[in-house]
Amino acid sequence: QVPLVESGGGLVQAGGSLRLACTVSGSVSFSDNAWYRQGWYRQAPGKRRELVAAITSGGTTNYADSAKGRFTISRDNAENTVYLQMTNLKPEDTAVYFCNLHQVHPTSLDYWGQGTQVNVSS
pLDDT in tens, 66-96: 999 999 999 998 889 999 999 999 999 999 9
* Residue whose C-alpha is closest to residue 22's, from 53, 60, 59, 62: 53
**Alpha carbon distance 87, 14 (integer Å):** 9
Cβ atoms of residues 75 and 57 within 8 Å: no
> Is the pLDDT score of 16 beyond 90?
yes
> Is the pLDDT score of 1 beyond 70?
no
> Is the pLDDT score of 27 beyond 80?
no
* Residue whose C-alpha is closest to residue 24's, from 71, 83, 105, 108: 83
* Residue whose C-alpha is closest to residue 74's, from 51, 53, 89: 53
| Amino acid (one-letter) located at 18 | L
Mean pLDDT of the chain: 93
Who has greater pLDDT, 1 or 86? Answer: 86
* Residue whose C-alpha is closest to residue 9's, from 34, 55, 42: 42
Q: In the predicted model, what is the mean pLDDT of residues 59-70? A: 97
